[in-house]
Structure 1
Amino acid sequence: MGGPRGRYSEEELAKALTRAREGDSYAHVARTSPIPLRTLFAKAKAARVSEEGDSMVQVVVKPTRRGPKPALPAFMEADLVEWIAAMQRVGLPQGRAGILRKANELYQLLGAYRTRSVGKSHLPSGWYYRFRDRHPLLTTRMAQPISRVRNTITGHGVWTMTKLVIEHKLTAARFFNMDETSFMPAKKTKTVVAIKGSTNVWSHESKANFHMTVCAAVSAAGTALPPLIIVPGVRILKTDLAAATIERTCVTGASKGFSNSGLFKLWIDFFVTELSVRQIAKPVVLLVDNSSTHIDLDTVTKCIEGGILLVTLPANATHLFQPLDVAVFRPFKAKVREALHDKVTLTADGSISKADAIAIACAAFSETIIERPQNAVSGFSGVGLYPPNSEKLLKRLKHFASGGVKGDVGIAGWLKRRVVIQAEARAEVLTLPPEPQRTPKRQRATVDIAGRLVTEEMLAHEP
C-alpha cells in the first residue's frame, strides 16, 4: 500500500519508475515504496523515453501542482514576478494592492483565453496569497524611504578620507565620527496584544513640548566622548543641568534646540580638550556629514590649529557611510523609546521636562554608546572605513542602486519604461499616410474629331 498522498520526493518517484521499468511489478513497487499504485501507472504513462546511442534514458515528467489551474497562466505569473523585481530595482517596490492591480490588468487582457471556463471578473485577495505561495522568491520587507538624491551619490569624499587614513598611518583611536540626532524618536505604530473584537486600540505616549539635540562622537576603537546636549533657550535651571549624569557632559542652548555653526565651533574646542585629556596623538581624522553647520572657514582654521583633519561625507550619504547612523544611533533611540514608555507606564504622565529629557538621554547614551564600544567598532568596520576596505566601500555605494535585488531577476529585455512605450506608440500607432507622389506632367497628343468619324487606321496617317 502506498503512503499518504503527495508524501514522496522526486528521487523516490524516479527510483520507483526505474524498478518498474526493470521488470518489478507495479503492485510490488507500490507496496515497498511511498508511491501509490495509481500514481505509478500515471507517471509511467507520462514518462518519455529517448534513445541516446545504444542506451535508453528514462525522462520523468516533472510533477505539476494539484487542483485547478491558476487564474493567470504560468508564463504570465513569471512575467509578473519579473515586473515586481524590476519595480524594486527602480525604487518603487510594490505591495499587495499594486500587485493585484497589475494582475487584474493582465487578467482582463486574457478574455476568452482564460485558464478557467467560468471565473470571477477580477482576482481577489486570495489569489494574491496563493500567488505568493507559488513563488517563494517573493517575500515581505519593510521599504526604507530614500530620496532620489541619496541614490545618486558618489564616493569622492570617502576616498579622500581613506587616503588620509593610509597616508598618516592613523590608528583606530585617531579616527572619529561626529553627528547630531534628535532626542525624541520618530513616532510609529507598533503591534500589540489586544482582546478580540477591539476596534480602536490606542496607547498613551510621552511627548516633549521642545526639541532637544544630542551630539555624539565615537572613534573607530569604540571610544565615546561625553555628549553635547542642545536645548532651546538661553537659560536653564540648575536642576536641569544636574540631571546630566555622564562626567564632562556639556549642555548648551540654541534658539530652537538645533545645532548651528557657532555651536559646532564650540564643540571643536571641546573636542580638542578631550583629545588632550585622553592623550590621543594628533593629527586625528574627524568625519562629519555635509551639513552647512560643519562647513565654515573659521571652523576649518580652528581644526587645522587643533591638529584635526576635517573630512565631510559625500552629500546625502550618511545612511551609507556614517558609523553613528549605521550602527550606533539605532540602539540609542530604542533605549530612549523604552525609557519614555516606562515613564508613562509608571507615572501616567506623558509630559517630559528638560530634566527628564537630559536624564533619559544620558542614561541611554551611557548604556548603548559608552558601555557598548563594539557598536562603534562594528559601524566603522561594517561600512569599510576602518580598517580601510575598498570592497565594502564599493558595496555600500551600490547598496541601494538596485533596490536590494540580488541576481538577474527583474532585468528581462522585454521590460520597458513608460516613456519608451509612449515613443513606440507614437511611431507605430499615431502614424500619417505617405506623402502623395507627384508625377511629371506629360504632353498629351490630341486629334481633331470635329465633323468627322475617326478610326484607329486613320490615326496612323495623322501627322
Structure 2
Amino acid sequence: MAPKPRRRYTDQELHDSIKDVISGKSLDDVSAATKIPRQTLQRETRLVRLGIVKEPKRPGPKPILPSNAEADLVSWIAAMQRDGHPVNQYEIMRTANRMVQALDPNASLTSGWYYRFLGRNPVLSQRMAQTISRARNEVDDESVERLYNSMKELMAKYQFLPDRIFNMDETAFNSRKKSHNVVVIKGSPNVWAKTISTNFHLSIVACGSASGILLPPLFLLPGETVDKTLSACSIIDGATISTSPKGFMNEDLFCEWLRWFARLVDSCNDNPVLLVFDGLASHYSPTNATHLFQPFDICVFRPFKDAIRKAIFQAMVEHGDINTISKSMSLEIASLAWSSHMVPANVISGFATAGLFPLSKDEMMRRLRLFKEGGAPASGVDVEWVERREYVRKEILSLPPLAPKTTRRKTIDVGGRILDLALLQEIDQSKEDKRRASDLKENLKRKRQAKKASKSKPGASKVSASVAKKKNPTTKKTPAAAKSTAAKRKLTNKRAKHD
C-alpha cells in the first residue's frame, strides 16, 4: 500500500483559500492556484459555513502525553524556576512519567520524548543554573529601599562625584570546580579532564571607583611569613601582600587596609569618600546581597577568574608534571590575570548595573526581581495555577510545601479522664476547655504527690515493728504456725534416726 502523501500547504494558506472561495472564487481556480486538493477545499469550506471550528492537529501518531498535560508540565517548570528550584532533565522525565502512568500504568517515556518536548515548546531552554544560598535569596524590597534611601541621603549631603565612590570586595584564587563543555571524538564512552589545585587559600582584595579607577590589589596568604622572591609586587605597580592565619580578611587586617586606602585616595573632611562593601554590621549594602549590589561581583570578577582558570590550564599543559600550584606560581598567575583583565570599563558598568552610580532605584529593583523570580522572563506561561501539595496537577506538579507560620499544639491534657477517639477529636477546642483540662491535670498531680508523701511515714513504723519482734522471743504464735513448727521438728527427728 502506497504511503499517504504529506500535505504541501500550511494552515494559513488553507485559511486564505477558504476566504477566497467564500468571497466568490471557484473551487477549481483556487485549488489550481494553491495546490490544495479540491475535495479538501470543498470540505473545509462547508465546515466554515456551518460554523464548525476544527482544532489544529499535529502530524504523526497521537502523543502519549496529551497536549494540555504538556502545557501543565511547562507551567510547572516555569513555576519551579520562579520558586528558586529550577528542574533538570531527570526531574522533568520523572514528573512526566508519573503523569503518563496516571493515565496508563504500562506506558513510559524515554529521552527521545524529552528532546521532542523541548522542540515543541521553544519557550524552554537548557541553561547552567547559578547556585545561590537560601539566605542570599531572602533579600526583600524593604532592604533595597533602605539601601537606596541611604545612598540618596549621602549623595544629597556630600554631592559625591564618581571618582569619590568606591567599592571594595574580596575573591578567592581557587574557584569551585565545575564541568564544562569540551570537544571530543564521537562515541567516547567517558570524557574526563585533569585538574590541579592549591593546598592553601589565597584571597585577592580589589577596590575601584565608579569612574573606573582601579586601586592596586592586596594578596592575602595563609601563615606568618612570605618568600622574598614573590614577584606579585613587581608585576602590578603598587600591589601589596600580607598574611592572616587562614588567608582570609580579618578585623585587624581590614582596619590596616582602610588606613592604606585613606592614604591612597587622600580622604579628608573637605573631600570625603564613599566606600561600599559588605561583611560588616555597619555596611550600607544589605545583608547577603553581594550578588545584587557589589559592582565587582556583578561585572569585574568573572573575566578575572576566567583568565586565572585559563592560565592554570595552560600551565598544566606546558608542564605536565605539575601536581599542585605553589604560592609564588599562584601569585604570578593572579597578577598577570589582573594586569590583562581588570578593565576600568567593567568597573563602571558594575556600578551602573547595581544602580549605585548613577543612583537608580529601578536598576536596584530590576536586580532584585532577576534573582527573586529565578531569572524567569515575563512570558505567556501560566504559573499561577500550580497548587502546593494537593493527582497530576495537585500531587505530581507540586511545589515544595509552604512553611507553617504558626504551630498548633498536638497534645491535650488528660487530667485523669478516659478518652476515646470521638472525645480526642472534640474536647478542649475552646480556651475555657483547655483551661479546665489544665486545672484537672494540676489537681491530679497534687493528689499523687500527697498520696506519695502519706505512704512514706507508715513504712518506717513497719520496719521498727519487725525489729521488735525479732528481739522479743516470747511473742505468741498462732495455732497454724505452731502446728507447722511441730511437723518440721518431727520430720527432722525421723531423718536423724534413719542416719
Shared topology, TM-score over 0.5?
A: yes
Paired residue for 2:366? 395
Q: How far off its partner does 1:358 sit?
A: 1.3
For 2:115, the equivalent position in structure 1 comes to 129
- Letter of the structure 1 residue corresponding to residue 124 of structure 2: L
Query: Are the equivalent residues in 2 in contact too, given 1:161–1:311 (CA < 8 A)?
Result: no
> 1:30-429 alignment to 2 at 5 Å?
30-37=31-38, 39-50=40-51, 61=54, 63-111=56-104, 121-153=107-139, 154-155=143-144, 156-241=146-231, 244-276=234-266, 282-289=271-278, 291=279, 294-295=280-281, 311-348=283-320, 349-369=322-342, 372-405=343-376, 406-407=378-379, 409-413=381-385, 415-418=386-389
Any idea what SS the aligned residue of 1:240 has?
Answer: coil
Q: Partners of 1:94 and 1:145 in 2: how far apart?
A: 13
Q: TM-score, normalising length from structure 2?
A: 0.71
Structure 1 length-normalised TM: 0.76
Query: Closer, same or farther in 2 for the Cα pair 1:141/1:197, shift >3 Å?
Result: closer
8 Å contact 1:226–1:250 — kept in the other structure? yes
1:49: how far off?
4.4
Alpha carbons of structure 1 residues 49 and 281: separation in structure 2 relative to 1, 3 Å: farther
Question: Which piece of structure 1 moves more, 210-219 or 146-155?
Answer: 146-155
Aligned partners of 1:336 and 1:361 also within 8 Å = yes
1:115-138, Cα deviation, whole Å (9 max, x unpaired): xxxx95222222222222222222
CA distance in 1, matches of 2:259, 2:181: 45
Q: Tell me, yes or no, if the aligned pair for 1:48 and 1:60 is still in contact at 8 Å.
A: no
Mapped contact 1:90–1:403 kept (Cα < 8 A) = yes
SS in 2 for 1:15: helix
Q: Which has the higher helix share?
A: 2
TM-superposed deviation, 1:227: 0.2
Q: Percent identity?
A: 40
Q: Which runs of 5+ in 1 are unaligned?
A: 51-58, 112-118, 296-309, 424-430, 436-463
| Counterparts in 2 of 1:38 and 1:132: CA distance versus 1, 3 Å | farther
Q: Answer whether contact 2:148 2:361 (CA < 8 A) is retained.
A: no
Pairwise CA distance, 1:38: 5.2
In structure 2, the CA distance between the partners of 1:243 and 1:353, relative to structure 1 (3 Å rule), is farther
Q: CA RMSD in A?
A: 3.0
The CA deviation string for residues 279-320 of structure 1, in whole angstroms up to 9 with x for no partner, is: 99721110111x2xx45xxxxxxxxxxxxxx74311110011
Q: Which moved more, 1:395-404 or 1:173-182?
A: 395-404
What amino acid maps onto 1:396 in structure 2? R
3-state SS of paired residue (1:351): coil
The residue identity in structure 2 corresponding to 1:364 is: A
Contact 1:286 1:311 in 2 (8 A): no
Instruction: Mark the structure with the bigger radius of gyration.
Output: 2
Q: Give the conservation status (yes or no) of the 8 Å contact 2:97–2:109.
A: yes
Contact 2:214 2:344 in 1 (8 A): yes
What residue in structure 1 maps to residue 473 of structure 2?
none
Is 2:232–2:335's contact at 8 Å kept on the other side of the alignment?
Answer: no
For residue 30 of structure 1, report the CA deviation from its aligned partner. Answer: 2.7
Cα 1:253–1:314 shift into 2, 3 Å:
same
Cα deviation digits, residues 351-399 of structure 1 (max 9, x gap): 3222211111111112111xx2110111110121100111111122222
Question: C-alpha distance in 1, partners of 2:220/2:214?
Answer: 18
For 1:186 and 1:407, the matched residues in 2 are separated by 33
CA spacing shift, 1:28–1:105, aligned 2, 3 Å: same
* Paired residues of 2:150 and 2:284 also in contact (CA < 8 A): no
- Counterpart of 1:55 in structure 2 is none
In 2, are the aligned partners of 1:245 and 1:363 still within 8 Å (CA)? Answer: yes
Deviations 1:85-142 (A, max 9, x none): 222221112222212222222222224xxxxxxx952222222222222222222222
Secondary structure in 1 matching 2:71: helix
CA contact (8 A) 1:173 1:280 kept: no
Q: Indicate conservation of the 8 Å contact 1:103/1:123, yes or no.
A: yes
2: CA distance, partners of 1:270 / 1:283: 15
The residue number in structure 1 matching 2:456 is none
Deviations 1:143-196 (A, max 9, x none): 222222212212223431333123311111111000110012221122222223
AA aligned to 2:172 is S
Separation (CA, whole Å) in 2 of partners of 1:377 and 1:198: 45
Q: Secondary structure at the match of 2:235?
A: coil
What letter matches 1:351 in structure 2?
A: T
- The answer as to whether partners of 2:20 and 2:30 remain within 8 angstroms in 1 is yes
The number of residue pairs the alignment matches comes to 389
Report the CA distance between 1:241 and its aligned residue: 4.5
* Alignment partners' CA distance in 2, 1:242 and 1:108: 62
Task: Letter of the 1:356 partner, please give it.
Answer: M
Q: Distance in 1 between matches of 2:250 and 2:10?
A: 66
Judged with a 3 Å threshold, the aligned counterparts in structure 2 of structure 1 residues 269 and 15 are, in CA distance, closer, same or farther, namely same
DSSP-derived class of the 1:47 partner? helix
Alignment check: 8 A CA contact 1:176 1:218 kept: yes
